[in-house]
């Protein structure tokens, strides 16, 4: 068995956290490939090293004195090194970083140093080989991740070592210039490494014991999810779950490698397993509920819309031309509604409306704002009758008006649109009917 283990920022925020991580890795000889994040927050008011680096580089870019900011970052690492009693000095690394900041080496380079330095410490601590991600993870000239080149070079490199630490979050362009993934991107690196070594499992260690059925800010003490499929997770993550970077599932999904989300602060918990497919029945009909506020519905009406070829394309073209992505497009015989993110749409609404008029010549356009979308997701729905009926009677019971319904033909999810103000009540009602009432 080969395991790739990724540790998030809060798991590596201090020497004390590093020790927990060390214990976890040493307790299982299969944990050979380690992907660390940069040190995160030690307490709720703390600042992540990545954010400190962005701020420090901003000062450097303005050609102002950034020495104090850089020293504060150095102090974070020194606290870890000293706390672990390591004989390691990062002086020369910080000299180089200072010089590179002065030369304006780029914002991505600046942010990537968080993972890079933590990787050096981790490798030293574990006595594993350190591999700079800039040498093995690549982006093409458009800034897109180059999966083929990366997999080839990374797997060849990792074949030669017994164990390694590969910092998360960044890679490089062909010319060696450093580029990062989007925030939280160490999750993606872990997945790429798991694919390259053909791992049996990708363990993603964080500060929660896996996914919860619903958001704990809305539901008090929600139950955890034991097993979830990649497809179910896509439906949930896309609606706002935050535990795992949404791009992290693609590299391992192709290879059929499961992801196990684990808690560094409670290593005995099984966490959540994310798998390709499973015959494990989830405990409840639904696997999870997720949602997001802040959508707008653009309702477009035109008589005989159903027989006008190309109407839908023209409407969507209006959104495309204005650089706006849509979430859902439920339709009726003479109506079509496009759900968009309000914050994206707000500034461009009149331009979009103008474009729709010009391109599709509708009878009327009406915009409704402050809507929330809720996804109720579960592989169990397919085999269970009455799921939609139960959702809607639960919502009616708490006086929530349903504004939109969308069920994918995969029968994996039902999406419901409600007013922002009904969002929490709707989630509570759905959780109650599927989970609480089954306990």
Contact flag: residue 9 with ligand ASP (CB under 6 A): yes
In the shown chain, the binding pattern of residues 94 to 133 toward ligand ASP, with x for contact by CB under 6 A and - for none, equals --------------------x-------------------
**CB burial readout 397-421, b (16+ within 10 A) else e:** eeebebbbebeeeebbbbbbbbbee
Within 302-361, the residues that bind ligand ASP by CB under 6 A are none
What are the DSSP E strand ranges found in 276-412? 288-301, 326-328, 335-341, 364-377, 404-407
Q: How many residues form the binding site for ligand ASP (CB under 6 A)?
A: 13
Q: How far is the CB of 77 from ligand ASP (least distance, A)?
A: 14
Sheet (strand 404-407) strand order: 326-328, 335-341, 288-301, 364-377, 413-419, 404-407
Quick count: other Cβ atoms within 10 Å of Cβ 28?
12
Q: Are strands 364-377 and 288-301 parallel, antiparallel or unpaired?
A: antiparallel
Are the beta carbons of 361 and 388 closer than 8 angstroms?
no
Please give the structure tokens belonging to residue 122. 């981790």
Q: Is position 288 an interface residue for ligand ASP (rule: CB under 6 A)?
A: no
To the nearest whole angstrom, how small is the minimum distance from the Cβ of residue 402 to ligand ASP?
A: 36
Taking the complex as a whole, the smallest distance from the CB of residue 246 to ligand ASP amounts, in Å, to 13
Choose which of 119, 167, 171, 185 interacts with ligand ASP (CB under 6 A).
Answer: 185
Binding flag, residue 171, ligand ASP (CB under 6 A): no
Residue nearer to ligand ASP on the CB measure, 9 or 417: 9
Q: Which of 31, 32, 48, 113 binds ligand ASP (CB under 6 A)?
A: 48
Radius of gyration of the chain (CA): 24
The 8-class DSSP code of residue 410 comes to T
Binds ligand ASP by CB under 6 A, chosen from 14, 186, 204, 260: 186
Residue 382 contacts residue 414 (beta carbons within 8 Å):
no
* Binding status of residue 76 toward ligand ASP by CB under 6 A: no
Contact call for residue 37 and ligand ASP (CB under 6 A)? yes
List the one residue from 119, 167, 168, 251 that touches ligand ASP (CB under 6 A). 168
**Interface contacts to ligand ASP, rule CB under 6 A:** 9, 37-38, 48, 50, 114, 168-169, 183-187
């Amino acid at each position: 068995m080969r395991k790739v283990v990724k540790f998030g920022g809060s798991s590596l925020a201090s020497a004390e956290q590093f020790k927990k991580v060390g214990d976890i890795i040493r307790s299982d000889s299969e944990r050979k490939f380690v992907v660390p994040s940069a040190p995160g927050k030690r307490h709720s008011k703390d600042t992540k090293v990545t954010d400190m680096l962005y701020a420090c580089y901003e000062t450097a870019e303005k050609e102002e004195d950034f020495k104090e900011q850089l020293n504060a970052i150095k102090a974070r690492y020194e606290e870890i090194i000293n706390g672990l009693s390591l004989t390691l000095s990062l002086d020369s690394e910080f000299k180089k970083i200072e010089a590179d900041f002065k030369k304006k080496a780029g914002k991505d380079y600046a942010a990537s140093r968080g993972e890079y330095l933590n990787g050096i410490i981790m490798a030293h601590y574990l006595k594993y080989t350190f591999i700079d991600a800039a040498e093995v993870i690549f982006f093409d000239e458009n800034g897109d991740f180059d999966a083929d080149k990366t997999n080839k070079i990374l797997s060849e490199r990792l074949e030669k070592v017994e164990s390694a630490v590969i910092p998360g979050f960044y890679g490089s362009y062909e010319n060696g210039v450093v580029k990062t993934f989007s925030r939280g991107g160490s999750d993606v690196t872990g997945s790429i490494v798991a694919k390259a070594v053909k791992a049996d499992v990708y363990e993603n260690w964080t500060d929660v014991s896996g996914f919860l059925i619903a958001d704990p800010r809305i539901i008090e003490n929600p139950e955890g999810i034991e097993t979830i499929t990649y497809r179910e997770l896509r439906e949930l993550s896309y609606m706002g779950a935050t535990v795992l970077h949404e791009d992290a599932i693609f590299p391992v999904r192709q290879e059929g490698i499961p992801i196990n989300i684990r808690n560094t602060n409670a290593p005995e918990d099984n966490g959540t397993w994310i798998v390709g497919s499973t015959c494990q029945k989830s405990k409840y009909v639904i696997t999870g509920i997720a949602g997001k506020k802040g959508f707008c519905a653009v309702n477009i009406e035109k008589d005989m819309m159903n027989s006008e070829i190309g109407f839908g394309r023209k409407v969507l073209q209006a959104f495309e031309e204005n650089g706006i992505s849509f979430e859902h497009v439920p339709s009726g015989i003479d109506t079509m509604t496009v759900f968009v993110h309000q914050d994206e749409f707000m500034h461009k609404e009149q331009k979009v409306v103008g474009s729709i008029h010009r391109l599709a010549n509708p009878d009327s356009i009406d915009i409704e704002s402050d809507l929330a979308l809720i996804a109720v997701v579960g592989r169990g729905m397919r085999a269970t009758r009455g799921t939609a009926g139960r959702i809607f009677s639960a919502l009616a019971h708490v006086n929530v008006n349903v504004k939109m319904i969308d069920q994918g033909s995969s029968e994996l999810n039902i999406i419901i649109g409600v007013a922002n103000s009904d969002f929490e009540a709707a989630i509570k009602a759905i959780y109650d009917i599927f989970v609480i009432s089954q306990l």
